[in-house]
Chains A and B, each alone.
Chain A
Amino acid sequence: MDTFLAALFSGTSRGAIYALVALGLVIVWRGAGVVNFAQMGQAMFSTYIASTLIQNGNPYWVGFFVALFAGAALGALLDILVMRPLSNKKKTELLSSESMRAAIPVIASLGILGVLQALAGIIWAAEERGFPAPAAQEGFTVAGSVMPFTSFDVFVISIVLATLTMTTIFFKKTGVGLAMRATALNQEVARLSGIRTNFTRTLSWAISGAASSLAGLLITPTSNLSPNTLDLVLIIGFTAAVVGGLDSPAGAVLGGFILGLVISFVTFYLSPEDVFLSILAVLLIVLIVKPRGILGGKDSRRV
């Protein structure tokens, strides 16, 4: 029973973070039609900025908000420098096929990830450093035993749920959200409708940059900070987004919690060695049953 509760709690708090990462991926996917493998590189970079500020004596929250802002700025910058020129190249022969148009931005984002990690290594050296949490990290006591569930976890989960609510409302109810969805779904019709698609894409990158920086700030207290620490988180977050449905913010969050729980239960009941194989199993099962993820729509992108 204790093991069960422990696994449940730890899975929920990890799941919340994967959910946030997945949410960031979904925002860029829905807003710009790109899966951004550089996302956690951006998060790592802005968390280093926060860490440097805090180490130099600034209060936690200064570092926190500067990091969010830096994440947004970096996201926008990457779109303007890399993704926009790329999407303007659509008429070249190589990019004339749909499959290549999907593959090339993925490759570009992997390049961005490499650049960010190398730069972080050059600027901040490669050794790990810790990163503070804004809330207590002592576990709550349930029926006499200390659970792996802390007020920091409560903080994380509430932030994730708030972000989900805001993203859903933003996409569904606001004009900018509609413009962003239209841009990702059909750039030509969006432009003919008067939507400034360059701007909406950049905005998607900025929002997702901020969301993933938030994820970075919330993960690093438990995993330390180094240029590569967040790679694994990205892969798991990506799996979460695919499991839940890349098109759906709610799906991303659902997928995040599913993966958090799977990882936690496998770790507690089987062995940590089995974690990746079980992630792969979950992914394959979901994709074979529902190729667009649990809450993903139908495959209407194809004509």
Chain B
Amino acid sequence: MKSRLEHQPLLQEVKEIVSQCDRCGTCLTVCPLYGIKDIESSSARGKNNIARGILAGVVEADHEALKAINFCLLCRTCIDSCPNKVKTDDAMIAVRQFFADKNGSPGIKYQALGSLMKNRKLVKLSAGALQLMRGMRLNHLVPHGMAPREFTRKQYLAAFAGPAILGSIPGRSPLKRSLTGKVAYFKGCGMQMLFPDAVQESIRILSTASSVQLVNNGCCGLPQLAHGLRNDFLEMAKETIALFEQTDIIVSDCASCSGTLKHVAAYFAGDPAWRERAAVFSAKVMGISEYLFEVGYQPRNQSQALITFHEPCHLGRGQGIKNQPRELLKATGNFVEMAGANSCCGGAGSFHIDYPDVSKQILAKKQQNIEASHANLVVSECPTCLVQLNKAAANSGGKFKVMHISQVL
């Protein structure tokens, strides 16, 4: 039985992905959501086949189906072990878009979040942003504990600073090679709103390597893309592309931003007017640890803290940036790899707001691994992860602190 839906371009995109699923079941053994809620529809196989069922007219494209499709961390763990490398994350994003188009909107919640992130002025009122959300009656989006108390570099130095490396105070580092050209810093919304100290440290570090351009950029567009606001994403991406045309390298200290910006090219591949520009743009993007490793950056201080790294999904599996942050941290003198460092923390954009209970259980596993590593400090490169890890730190009764990688390097 074939349905009319098959001819929708978006669903064509979905079909190409999900028809690669052999329904083997490998993903059931790795999907963090199946690990918590062990029913078929949680897994990648379950969701890919719901998409297939919609295409075949066997599954009703209703609210229930959308709920199942929304229940995905977009963490790519399944893809890592899938024999056919079925891109479940891309398929879920496209199906969500299909629903948003069909319903005329992605739903009030995602619409509100999307508009907020799209509004540069709102985001820029960094310290006040959360207050503003409350003012806009969006406070149900920001449950208690989302705005963490940031552990600043100053506090870190007071607690853990070891001898300065090479006897220098923060200053120019000896570089192995300079990635010549103009470097711009891409200021992500989450970092700006929640971790202003880390933003300052990222800029400070980047300034040691080259003179950094600060650009008044907007949101990377992932919150919109992930929840059925593809047109907004494309519109914002065009703005961003134009904004960074004069720079040679674009560095982001948020894994979701760098991952999304690298992906921009793919979304314009079929658009002759933008294809070239988008490809050039995406090629310029680097994650901050990727960049620092590349230029041979030396951390400013030795650390007396035992440091472990939580690898964001969008950094490791999303961009293949795995050893760079670890090598940089090893240079601070005291690094330990924890078990399951690359497993999702349960943050996943707004997932932790939408499914607090599931998210909490995933985070509990992470917390166990952090505690078992005996690290005093867990470091990451993504604001959503940092929010989650801060919750874990609080739950552990202060057994460890949480910092952005820029703050310790």
Q: Do A and B bind each other?
A: no
B residues contacting A by CB (< 8 A) are none
A residues contacting B by CB (< 8 A) are none
